[in-house]
Amino acid sequence: MNISELQKARYAYQPKLPAVLQKDVKNITVALGEPTEAVADAADVKKLFANTYGQPVARFEEGTNAGAGKKINVGVILSGGQAPGGHNVIAGLYDGIKKGNKESKLYGFKGGPSGIIEGDYVEFTDEFIDAYRNTGGFDIIGSGRTKLETEEQFKKSLAVCKKIGVSAVVVIGGDDSNTNAALLGEWFKAQGEDIQVIGCPKTIDGDLKNEHIETSFGFDTATKTFAELIGNIEKDSNSAKKYWHFIKLMGRSASHIALECALQTQPNFCIISEEVEEKKMTLAQVVEDIVKVIVKRAEKGCNFGVGLVPEGLIEFIPEVGALISELNDLLAHEAEYYATLNGFDDQAEFINRKLSRDSSYVYSSLPVEIQKQLIMDRDPHGNVQVSRIETEKLLIQMVEERLNEMKVKGEFKGKFSALAHFFGYEGRCAFPSNFDSDYCYTLGFSAFLLISAGLTGYISNVSGLECPAGEWKAGGCPLTMMMNMEQRHGSMKPVIKKALVELDGKPFKAFAEQRDVWAVETAFTFPGAIQYYGPDEVCNQPTKTLALEKGGCCGGEAKKGCCCC
């Protein structure tokens, strides 16, 4: 296999671990805190997770670990969309298992959760793992979005685990995938089985976080990759001075990616979906805000610029969000009849008959292509596939129409020529940054320690991430404490609650303080490519979001060599 020089160098990179995890695994114990409660709908969540609800938060510290040297077989699943660093979670898990007992085995279930159901797996070896250390992608075993929820699926998973002697399963995924993990772990417990289930927090979207999960892995690398591309486009825009670039950024629900990229690149506008929802803005009002920026810059002779649009924006516009919610329920409850309809015209007629008056009006007012995109097949979790909705093109079309109206009235004398971009897949499989390489390896190593402590229904977590890796604190927290009940496929289901952008949080406030200046001035910044070697402030810098949320590793006081000041 031909490999690049960077790939060779990254294979040799040794991820950094928190100080406590650098000890012999037999000398790392787990300290347990107080019982926990679900973040919302506690009574309903408790009923569904009678065997795993209310467990305490776990922290690793120096001490005796009698279970660390036990010979075990563990299975691992990569679930959902790719995120940089997934290979290092597996590498950290593998190394932890082998440090405990060289006879222990790690199996990779191929193609996501379907691998454990169908018994499609591979046994990892040193040579196998070494070929993927510190590299991007999920190609080591592949991923998938199969929803684990039926009795039949659980029984098949159990049979596969028993066949190869697996006593623990690690699920690497986002909120829906870790909900799968919680359901599987609960089912094993309810059957009296000793098979443990541990999760790891993955998603470039950044919406799997809370007081214990400070960030999901992949967010650091993906946002830095997108910021490089945005910076390149900003440089091009300022060079050509004739195009407006509308850039849609991946992030199915929350706007964390758009906000982080805005903080890194200072575009002329950046829409934050959560603010749109909070202000109950209509689609027309969103367009009007963009138009104001374009007009102001045109008055300065600047008929160019860059704007960022979150992938999930359309769901946060109240009128469209209500429409999507109705469509989700309608397509779930009427799936059998809907499947018999031939062509878009028949589908649209049926939908408009079934929707409420307000939603029918909104649906009919949208361009036909957007109408078609809104009724595409849902993902396995019942979510509309927002990545396939061309929101950036919708906004360009509506902005252009509004500017043409203003031209006729003499209210706009500038020029408007726009280009659309969608950045998402470009960042999902990038070479992980040093931060994600270290963080992911720590998450995987921690998953082994949670297994060795006999725990199940937990997710690996690391805190103090604004500090150097050696100062991080590792452990795990119960999956049930992150859950609430939400409507999926027309019925209430337990799911891990998404973390949206907090409008009173430091990252958004930092953005809000500057955006009016960025709107008019050409204040672009150019982050450049991710650096892997060099001084800490260049190659080990955390995201601006994390540094702002945590106050930086120096507490906000600039110090020489500090990675966040």
Give the global pTM.
0.91
pLDDT of residue 2: 78
Which residues are known to be catalytic? 205
Same domain for 79 and 121, yes or no, is: yes
Same domain for 264 and 200, yes or no, is: no
Same domain for 239 and 351, yes or no, is: yes
> Above 60 in pLDDT, residue 297?
yes
Same domain for 158 and 279, yes or no, is: no
> Above 70 in pLDDT, residue 24?
yes
Assess if residue 493 is contained within a domain: no
Q: How confident is the model at residue 378 (pLDDT cuts 50, 70, 90)?
A: low
Per residue in 198-248, pLDDT (tens digit) is 999 999 999 999 999 999 999 999 999 999 999 999 999 999 999 999 999
> Above 80 in pLDDT, residue 1?
no
> Above 60 in pLDDT, residue 555?
no
Instruction: Report yes or no: 66 and 96 within 8 Å, Cβ to Cβ.
Output: no
**Among candidate residues 13, 27, 166, the one with its CA nearest the CA of residue 88:** 13
> What mean pLDDT, rounded, does the chain reach?
93
Q: How far apart are CA 87 and CA 313, in angstroms?
A: 31
Per residue in 45-90, pLDDT (tens digit) is 999 999 999 999 999 999 999 999 999 999 999 999 999 999 999 9
Instruction: Report yes or no: 444 and 455 within 8 Å, Cβ to Cβ.
Output: no
Q: What φ, ψ does residue 477 adopt, rounded to 5°?
A: -135, 150
Query: What is the separation, in whole angstroms, between the first and last Cα of the chain?
Result: 41
User: Which range is least confidently modeled, 99-108, 115-124, 167-176, 358-367?
Assistant: 358-367
Assess if residue 526 is contained within a domain: no
pLDDT of residue 562: 45
Same domain for 313 and 254, yes or no, is: yes
Q: Please, which residues bridge with residue 78 across strands?
A: 172
Environment class of 542 (CB within 10 Å of its CB; exposed 0-12, middle 13-18, buried 19+): buried
**Cβ neighbours of residue 234 under 8 Å, at least 6 residues apart?**
265, 267, 306, 524, 525, 526
pLDDT of residue 279: 97
**Which residue has better confidence, 559 or 284?**
284
**Among candidate residues 256, 253, 257, 265, the one with its CA nearest the CA of residue 313:** 253
Assess if residue 528 is contained within a domain: no
Same domain for 355 and 264, yes or no, is: yes
Same domain for 28 and 163, yes or no, is: yes
Q: How confident is the model at residue 380 (pLDDT cuts 50, 70, 90)?
A: low
Same domain for 241 and 188, yes or no, is: no
Q: How far apart are CA 97 and CA 124, in angstroms?
A: 11
Q: Please, which residues bridge with residue 297 across strands?
A: none
Assess if residue 422 is contained within a domain: yes
pLDDT of residue 552: 60
pLDDT of residue 245: 98
Q: What φ, ψ does residue 487 adopt, rounded to 5°?
A: -80, 120
pLDDT of residue 561: 41
Structure-token pair, residue 281? 């803005």
> Above 70 in pLDDT, residue 559?
no
Q: How far apart are CA 169 and CA 180, in angstroms?
A: 12
We report the CATH number of the domain holding residue 272 as 3.40.50.460
Q: How confident is the model at residue 324 (pLDDT cuts 50, 70, 90)?
A: confident
DSSP 542: -
Give the percent of the chain with pLDDT over 70: 95
Q: How far apart are CA 349 and CA 351, in angstroms?
A: 6
Q: How confident is the model at residue 565 (pLDDT cuts 50, 70, 90)?
A: very low
Q: How far apart are CA 418 and CA 244, in angstroms?
A: 5
> Above 80 in pLDDT, residue 443?
yes
Pick from 479, 511, 546: which residue ends a domain? 479
Q: How far apart are CA 412 and CA 398, in angstroms?
A: 15
Assess if residue 375 is contained within a domain: yes
Assess if residue 439 is contained within a domain: yes
Per residue in 490-534, pLDDT (tens digit) is 789 999 999 999 999 999 999 999 999 999 999 999 999 999 999
We report the CATH number of the domain holding residue 98 as 3.40.50.450
Q: How far apart are CA 229 and CA 426, in angstroms?
A: 9
Number of domains in the chain: 2
Please compute the mean of the pLDDT values over residues 304-323 and round it to a whole number: 92
> Above 60 in pLDDT, residue 564?
no
Q: Cβ atoms within 10 A of the Cβ of 333, count?
A: 14
Assess if residue 335 is contained within a domain: yes
Same domain for 202 and 272, yes or no, is: no
Q: What φ, ψ does residue 486 adopt, rounded to 5°?
A: -135, 155
Domain of residue 473 covers 19-34+46-218+432-479
User: Which range is least confidently modeled, 90-94, 374-378, 474-478?
Assistant: 374-378
Q: How far apart are CA 445 and CA 198, in angstroms?
A: 12
Per residue in 459-492, pLDDT (tens digit) is 999 999 999 999 999 999 999 999 999 987 778 9
Assess if residue 246 is contained within a domain: yes
